[in-house]
Structure 1
Amino acid sequence: MIKQLKIAATYMRGGTSKGVFFALDDLPAAAQQPGPARDALLLRVIGSPDPYGKHTDGMGGATSSTSKAVILSRSTQPEHDVDYLFGQVAIDKPFVDWSGNCGNLTAAVGAVAISQGLVDASRIPRDGLCTVRIWQANIHKTILAQVPMAAGEVVECGDFELDGVTFPAAEVQITFVDPADDSDGGSMFPTGQLVDELEVPTSLVPSGKLKATLINAGIPTIFVNAADIGYQGTELQPDINGDEAALARFEQLRAYGALKMGLINQLDDISARQHTPKIAFVAPAASYQASSGKTIAADDIDLCVRALSMGKLHHAMMGTAAVAIAAAAAIPGTLVNLAAGGGERELLRFGHPSGTLKVGASAQCRDGQWQVRQVVMSRSARVLMEGWVRIPEDSF
């Protein structure tokens, strides 16, 4: 008889995403190390692969925003509290992508780390803000989370409203420190250019050429102009996600961008990198009606941005893509910066399908190389359920 295995877990909303959080030590021994056993366990927890696309037999929500898993442990890095490892679980394939971070779930990491005793008690104030120093293990970057505390407990309820999230909650400010991937002394722009020209088949773009800003800040991202691919920049999910031909076109464009960025060696390799890079399209500010029915006025935003995640148009904006947007907008001459009106800027409010988001970035040019030292944004997080998840013991 095959029995069900119980694994301690916390089901969290972070930003506009949801995921299952595990403490590393609570995982079965075989899954405490990277490899097939860990991937198989997380796939079964989420309910993937699911040919029906529903995640009926798992904790996933059958969207890129809700098919996520997080593993936390006491940090092995000096001056850090918690190591945060993120897995993006594919819905219809037996695949877990470990190539990037989830910026939205980052908002929940601090709260879970405090609750699980991963943050030294001497660093946790009884009241006020607790600065949780997060080591993002996927991309080897530091993130600081300002977690509100009251009477020694994490504050989750509040009046901070985040477009894309139904109910208000407590604000959690997130600072992405030195978010660009320039660890090898290179540029956050993999080609060294603020704007590249991708050579693509005329079946994708009639001219065979497509301008793109290729940036690796927060997460590798390909930015293109909405007008160059036949869009307005005000589209909502039904406008794109119901069009299989459009989705296939975006995936092909993503492959050409990834190849130019040096992330893959040949176009077919893109199937093994579903989570990264992201592809997004930008347009000057315009008025539109968000998915909630709220009217977004052109005067209230600096530009419009739409981004795809795991092959679908995202319902709001991925946190890591927001980092890339902020970084690119702060650097004069990128497509994001030009869509926002050009010039130097540190604060930006952009429109996405669910509403708007304000982000801030600090950029400077040294010796001809642009550097972004930090990106700041506010999110929120809340525990949805905690206890155990159960999977058949022969799942991994």
Structure 2
Amino acid sequence: MAELKIPAAYMRGGASQGVFFNLRDLPRDPAQRDRLLLRVLGGPDPAARRLDGLAAGAVALVGASRRDDADVDYLYGRPSPDRASIDWSGDDGHLAAAVGPFALRHGLVAPRDGTTVVRIWQGGVGRRMAAHVEVRAGQVLEAGAFVEDGIPFPCAEIRLDFLDEPARAILPTANAQDRLRVDGVGELAATLAVAGLPAVFVRAADLGLTGRERPDAVRRDAALQARLEAVRGAGAAAMGARGRAEGPPVLAWVAPPAAYRTAGGDDVAADRVDVLARIFADGRLQAEFGTGAAISLAAAAALPGTVVSQVARTLPGVAARIGHAGGVQTVGAAVARQDHGWVMEHATVSRSARCLMSGWIHVPAEASGLV
């Protein structure tokens, strides 16, 4: 049986992994390209095991950009678990950290010793990013002293700037704080923010919490989960359609810095964090703090009068260290006041990335739809 051989790399970006392709190595027709990629990933598979493929949860396409403000174009795709389709409209703030190193490794951008900046256009969400990648002797530097939560080995730091957030106000109600009336909870102050991700921020103390909660404890408390969902729902209603344009908001409760133990059992000292925060979404306390939620928290921390800025130990222009259930995440946001309200100019997160494997992917030509 004839087969195709396609060059690819399996890469880690932050706490995510995905298969990376150079766009020039794939069919130009999107429908044909997606059929091929689905076969590479072993889907669709009614048994959901995808044993006859790489079974990767994400795929990344990177190619030379035709835009003047970008070096490479980037598409993030997630295959449907039960349909023959790939969703290109999503995002993964972790995996994006691997785009710059991939572009340098594959000659899409010329590496320069020191720090090479790779300008990235993510077409699926219409956003510009800039990856600051360390280079030594013309090669991407992967080893270093940067420690990223969830990654057991120290790595080289990659600073990822999110440059193009939608031209919208961060506060959909235009208020630094709103009052939510929640059945079974009462009335409490909340900051409703839409930056990296729609979020409802409240004080942990107002919920009878500490900000040091662990996922397993919340999972065992059905009454607490019901209260949290009620607060999240009230915040979503107060946001209105404008604030929920990118999906249902998450609920985050914040508290001043304090020592705590992560879900993985690691001890975090109070002086390592500027604010404690926990995220409740999809009916459960999340073990990690996603990039989008972290950006929203950093933006709220930079705004005067918000619940977050009143609780967090942060300074203007300095990135916030968020103590979450999985560890500590550092993220910064620059905000500015315009006629229609506060907007975010850019946000910066620190990640790491590593090429785990590169070579050829073998695909049956007949099954790919190309012959």
Settle same-fold status: TM greater than 0.5: yes
Q: Give yes or no for the alignment of 1:386 onto 2:368.
A: no
- 3-state SS in 2 of match to 1:78: coil
Q: 1:358 aligns with which of 330, 334, 342?
A: 330
Q: 1:143 to 1:245 in 2, by over 3 A?
A: farther
Corresponding residue of 2:278:
306
- State whether residues 31 and 41 of structure 1, in contact with CA within 8 Å, keep that contact through their aligned partners in structure 2: no
Give deviations 1:213-240, integer Å, cap 9, x for gaps: 3323233333344445554322333334
- State whether residues 169 and 340 of structure 2, in contact with CA within 8 Å, keep that contact through their aligned partners in structure 1: no
Corresponding residue of 2:121:
135
Corresponding residue of 2:130:
144
- State whether residues 43 and 89 of structure 1, in contact with CA within 8 Å, keep that contact through their aligned partners in structure 2: no
- State whether residues 16 and 316 of structure 1, in contact with CA within 8 Å, keep that contact through their aligned partners in structure 2: no
- State whether residues 164 and 315 of structure 1, in contact with CA within 8 Å, keep that contact through their aligned partners in structure 2: no
Corresponding residue of 1:22:
21
- State whether residues 46 and 68 of structure 1, in contact with CA within 8 Å, keep that contact through their aligned partners in structure 2: no
- State whether residues 171 and 341 of structure 2, in contact with CA within 8 Å, keep that contact through their aligned partners in structure 1: no
Q: 1:320 aligns with which of 284, 292, 295?
A: 292
Task: Show the 5 A alignment for 1:41-56.
Answer: 41-42=37-38, 45=41
- 3-state SS in 1 of match to 2:94: helix
Separation in 2, partners of 1:287, 1:79: 43
Separation in 1, partners of 2:8, 2:282: 24
Q: 1:106 aligns with which of 91, 96, 101?
A: 96
Give deviations 1:190-226, integer Å, cap 9, x for gaps: 23223344566x3xx543x664433232333333444
Task: Show the 5 A alignment for 1:183-194.
Answer: 186-194=168-176
Any stretches of 5+ residues in structure 2 without a counterpart? none
- State whether residues 233 and 304 of structure 1, in contact with CA within 8 Å, keep that contact through their aligned partners in structure 2: yes
- 3-state SS in 1 of match to 2:294: helix
Separation in 2, partners of 1:146, 1:173: 5
User: How far apart are residue 15 of structure 1 and its match?
Assistant: 1.3
Separation in 2, partners of 1:115, 1:304: 38
Q: 1:133 to 1:49 in 2, by over 3 A?
A: same
User: How far apart are residue 6 of structure 1 and its match?
Assistant: 5.2
Corresponding residue of 2:62:
72
- 3-state SS in 2 of match to 1:118: coil
Q: 1:55 to 1:215 in 2, by over 3 A?
A: farther
Separation in 2, partners of 1:173, 1:188: 23
Corresponding residue of 1:170:
156
- 3-state SS in 1 of match to 2:103: helix
Aligned residues: 367
User: How far apart are residue 95 of structure 1 and its match?
Assistant: 7.5
Any stretches of 5+ residues in structure 1 without a counterpart? 62-66
- 3-state SS in 1 of match to 2:191: strand
Q: 1:6 to 1:340 in 2, by over 3 A?
A: same
- State whether residues 86 and 101 of structure 1, in contact with CA within 8 Å, keep that contact through their aligned partners in structure 2: yes
User: How far apart are residue 247 of structure 1 and its match?
Assistant: 6.9
Q: 1:299 to 1:210 in 2, by over 3 A?
A: same
User: How far apart are residue 350 of structure 1 and its match?
Assistant: 1.5
Q: 1:372 to 1:237 in 2, by over 3 A?
A: same
Separation in 2, partners of 1:85, 1:322: 22
Separation in 1, partners of 2:230, 2:53: 30
- State whether residues 115 and 133 of structure 2, in contact with CA within 8 Å, keep that contact through their aligned partners in structure 1: yes
- State whether residues 6 and 362 of structure 2, in contact with CA within 8 Å, keep that contact through their aligned partners in structure 1: yes
Q: 1:198 to 1:96 in 2, by over 3 A?
A: farther
Q: TM-score, normalised by structure 1?
A: 0.75
Q: 2:146 aligns with which of 160, 163, 171?
A: 160
User: How far apart are residue 284 of structure 1 and its match?
Assistant: 2.4
Task: Show the 5 A alignment for 1:8-19.
Answer: 8-19=7-18
Q: 1:149 to 1:308 in 2, by over 3 A?
A: farther
- 3-state SS in 2 of match to 1:337: helix
- 3-state SS in 2 of match to 1:234: coil
- State whether residues 13 and 94 of structure 2, in contact with CA within 8 Å, keep that contact through their aligned partners in structure 1: yes
Give deviations 1:134-160, integer Å, cap 9, x for gaps: 112233222111111122121112221
User: How far apart are residue 189 of structure 1 and its match?
Assistant: 2.1
- State whether residues 161 and 169 of structure 1, in contact with CA within 8 Å, keep that contact through their aligned partners in structure 2: yes
- 3-state SS in 2 of match to 1:262: helix
Corresponding residue of 2:241:
262
- State whether residues 172 and 242 of structure 2, in contact with CA within 8 Å, keep that contact through their aligned partners in structure 1: no
**Larger radius of gyration between Structure 1 and Structure 2:** 2
Letter in structure 1 aligned against 2:319: L
Q: TM-score, normalised by structure 2?
A: 0.80
Q: 1:81 aligns with which of 67, 71, 76?
A: 71
User: How far apart are residue 14 of structure 1 and its match?
Assistant: 0.9
Letter in structure 2 aligned against 1:334: T
Q: Percent same amino acid among aligned pairs?
A: 40
User: How far apart are residue 374 of structure 1 and its match?
Assistant: 2.5
Q: 1:223 aligns with which of 185, 192, 201?
A: 201
- 3-state SS in 2 of match to 1:169: coil
Letter in structure 2 aligned against 1:173: R
Separation in 2, partners of 1:362, 1:329: 10
Give deviations 1:339-375, integer Å, cap 9, x for gaps: 2158856332110123212223333334472233232
Letter in structure 2 aligned against 1:328: A
